[in-house]
Structure 1
Amino acid sequence: MKKILSVLMMVVLMATTLLTGCGQKAETQGASEAVQANASGSQKELQKMNIGYLASPEHLLYFVAKEKGFFEEEGIDANLFLFTNSAEGLNATIAKKVDVGSFGVSAPLVFTAKGADIQVIGGQNSGACALVCMPDRYDELKDINNYKGKKVATVRLSTADVIFRGALIDAGIDYRKGDAEIIELESPAATMEALKKGTVDAALIWTPYVAMAEDQGVKIGMYITDLFENNVCCRQAVLGSELEANPERWESFMAALIKAYDFYMTNHEETVEITSKYVKVDKKYLDKETYDADATMVCSPDPLRNSTLKYWDIMKKTGFIESELDIDEHINTDVYKKALDRMISEYPDNENYKALLNDFEMNNI
């Protein structure tokens, strides 16, 4: 009981620091009918599932799976609930108010390190983060080795924040000893504003602010993928007890996201249109962030086990986590693999599913 209370108290304390996306608190996007017609024309009851999301294009797999009926096809009556930040969403997961959500990668790992019963069963996205500077500083600040003595605005424990701090240490710039100054602010909008006011040398941001950067008069100095190739970001986090109780339910959930991935890869305009219903940003930025050739955001249900293990090591190196826990015990790749194998069996000619299998073998074994 003391361990559970400790975890819940920590969630509350972190609620103002793990900001991702924008929007209003715990707002449902509506429910689907509780029955579904199968191939024989009969009806079968759908399993209700509450899914937490953040108002970001990074979460488009949820939006597509909901709007295109992929959850229903997999026997799930999905209700999407909007949260303002990752800690708030993880709090709801631990309290069983939602069944699953993609609340960053830092939050589930920190809570797991403190004793939370969290299992990562899949992914949502990678990339999508960048460091920006003023155009006249680009030649200097495009190189991580030039950040000694610099001030950088960040949102504490955001994906970009953790990776950038780790990269500074690797470059021999120990911000903990004053080699560089990390200015912690509440949102990517605030970090961008600090840069434009000249109070910092550079700022860490993420989607959709990355797509907006040039229109805001700033320049992308480096993408987070320059510092951590194939970096891990939002993960599908569920309670271990819920996973153990009904693994088939979660295989169906991941199958719906795999179908959504296929749609996102093959239906450009409609995917942007669907995303715009949940993310109130100009569609040109959603389009640019999602499909532009220079964009680094990749939405994929792959668990990215290997990258998650690397991220855990970075969190330990930067002091965000002090734990001897084997985090690999909290990453379940079997659920996703079984769902993917079924999709390939049902659609053997689908090139996107074949590509996901190739990615899985590279990223998880």
Structure 2
Amino acid sequence: MKKITAMIMLLALLVLSACGNSDTKEVTGTNDEKVKLLLAAEGTAMYYAYIARDLGFFEEEGIDVELLPGKGGSYVVQQVGAETVDLGIIAVNSVLPAWDKGINIKMVYQVNVTNLFDFMVPEDSKVTDIKQLKGKVIGVTDLGSGEVPMVRSILTSAGLNPDQDVTIRAIGADGTSILTAFEKGEIDAFSGGAHDLISLYGKGFKSRSLVPEEYKSIPSTGIIANGKIMKDNPEVVEKITRAVAKATDYAINDPDAAYEVMKKAVPEQYTDEKLGRLFLDTFIGLTKPLDPDKGYGYIYEDSWQRLIDQFSEGDDPVVKNEINLDEYLDSSLLEKANDF
């Protein structure tokens, strides 16, 4: 009987000990608030999200972030607008059609402050002007990707109807596929993000850009949040932006360490280490603030207005209605995002 009683007491102590350990885990953050962050692209193009996750910057903020990458900017906008997810990171062109429809999506943090998209032809192409693309085929990575609104706007500004005068065809983001499409004459021009083009250039491709000068200084990537979370739980958005700012600062100040993190996070993008490093350095460069005194994520309203103006041109523009940017650009969290 004494042995049975002793065993019962021992089991009780073990249970109490386990409960105590469980309580300790709650304090140290295993019950962090769970957040899904939808990314328009996977890997290096959005390196700051992976570094924030893998170096514990999200965890430091008390949030457990699941990164959901890879279906293009239009998909991310659709999901954030429908409140399927609260937050996403996109190429900013993708959000304009939603704003045009009055969908309550806030731009809360501007990641890249210059245009990361190019619209180009092979160096030896006879096409020297956008108007010469009439009747031609233009390749893009995906029909839902962020470069598509820019392509449509540039075509429209040159007097071409993007639905009638050209064919816009999805080619994918793989450098070999893009190069093959050019060599076989399946496309006459191509538009994609820096990550797509680096892989193409890594194969020796030489190009000539058709992007007008006024399109080069427009914003290109940012964090969006639906209006509901900005109203009900802005603290979560603040934590996301601060973690991203920390990760960006980390990479800018120590790109070698950032490279080691990314090699582990997405090893398939670093099988060619030289090309992988070129990818990363390119995107780190895109996230460096134009004016460091303004901090990370600063939203340049004048460049946004230029973006809206450019995408409002033509008979069938991307932006058909007046967009009041005061309703969609939200800088309220940026001071706190830079408080680290």
User: Which of 35, 42, 63 does residue 49 from structure 1 map onto?
Assistant: 35
Task: Give the TM-score, by structure 1 length.
Answer: 0.69
- Alpha-carbon distance in structure 2 between the residues aligned to 1:88 and 1:167: 22
Q: Tell me which residue corresponds to 1:348.
A: none
Task: Give the TM-score, by structure 2 length.
Answer: 0.74
Structure 1 position 296, deviation (Å): 6.8
Q: Tell me which residue corresponds to 1:151.
A: 136
* Letter of the structure 2 residue corresponding to residue 291 of structure 1: D
Q: Does residue 298 in structure 1 map to residue 287 in structure 2? A: yes
Q: Does residue 108 in structure 1 map to residue 92 in structure 2? A: no
Q: Is the 8 A contact 2:136 2:167 kept in 1?
A: yes
| Unmatched tracts of structure 1, length 5 or more | 1-32, 38-42, 344-365
* Higher RCO structure (Cα 8 Å, ≥6 apart): 2
Q: Is the 8 A contact 1:51 1:98 kept in 2?
A: yes
- Alpha-carbon distance in structure 2 between the residues aligned to 1:303 and 1:187: 30
Query: Cα 1:74–1:183, aligned 2, differ >3 Å: closer, same or farther?
Result: same
- Alpha-carbon distance in structure 1 between the residues aligned to 2:309 and 2:318: 10
| Unmatched tracts of structure 2, length 5 or more | 1-23, 289-295
Structure 1 position 286, deviation (Å): 2.9
Q: Does residue 258 in structure 1 map to residue 245 in structure 2? A: yes
Residues 149-179 of structure 1 show CA distances to partners (whole Å, capped at 9, x for unaligned) of 5735143464434334434555xx3112999
Q: How does 1:176-187 map to 2 (within 5 A)?
A: 176=161, 181-187=166-172
Q: Tell me which residue corresponds to 2:318.
A: 320
RMSD: 3.4
Q: Is the 8 A contact 1:50 1:97 kept in 2?
A: no
**Bigger mean CA deviation after superposition, 222-231 or 107-116:** 222-231
Residues 298-330 of structure 1 show CA distances to partners (whole Å, capped at 9, x for unaligned) of 366333433333222222225123212313311
Q: Does residue 287 in structure 1 map to residue 268 in structure 2? A: no
Q: How does 1:1-365 map to 2 (within 5 A)?
A: 35=26, 37=28, 46-53=32-39, 54-125=41-112, 126-137=114-125, 144=129, 147=132, 149=134, 151-155=136-140, 156=143, 158-170=145-157, 173-176=158-161, 181-189=166-174, 192-222=179-209, 226-276=213-263, 277-278=265-266, 280-282=268-270, 283-291=273-281, 297-298=286-287, 301-318=297-314, 319-340=317-338, 342-343=339-340
Residues 27-82 of structure 1 show CA distances to partners (whole Å, capped at 9, x for unaligned) of xxxxxx98564xxxxx7953221111221422111111111111122222212122
Q: Tell me which residue corresponds to 2:292.
A: none
* Letter of the structure 2 residue corresponding to residue 49 of structure 1: V
SS at match of 2:59: helix
Q: Tell me which residue corresponds to 2:16.
A: none
